[in-house]
Amino acid sequence: MRSDPFDVVKAIRLSRATLGKMHQNLWWAAGYNVIAFPLAAGVFYPFLLSPEIAALSMSGSSVIVAVNALLLKWVRLEGFVDAQRADAAVSGASRAAQLAQ
């Protein structure tokens, strides 16, 4: 964050994307638990999960949740010009105006 007011809008967009990822991860983890716990407990008797397979799938679920969270890195905060590029554009435009005179 800098002293640019548009950074507030970027922060709001990033926080909304973060909340969306939290919901995705919550649904993923809840869905996994709804399916895997009864399988591991033997509720669907012919279909059983051995403890080793259940532990591996739980680890895989954790990896998927972590990778999904890392996808926030690719959130685009488009629509706002970076401060350095804006300064360069303004100075370039003023130079062009000076040259035109």
Q: What is the average per-residue pLDDT within 64-80?
A: 83
Can you give the residue range of the structural domain that contains 30? 6-100
Over pLDDT 70: what percentage of the chain? Answer: 75
75 pLDDT exceeds 60? yes
- Residue 45 domain-assigned? yes
Query: pTM of the entire structure?
Result: 0.62
85 pLDDT exceeds 60? no
77 token code pair = 């905060």
pLDDT tens profile 34-59: 888 888 888 888 878 788 888 888 88
How many independent structural domains does the chain possess?
1
- Residue 1 domain-assigned? no
Contact 13, 84 (CB under 8 A): no
Contact 21, 69 (CB under 8 A): yes
What torsion do the CA atoms of 34, 37, 39, 42 make, to the nearest 10 degrees?
-130
Contact 80, 10 (CB under 8 A): yes
- Residue 86 domain-assigned? yes
Summary mean pLDDT of the chain: 78
pLDDT tens profile 87-101: 555 555 555 555 566
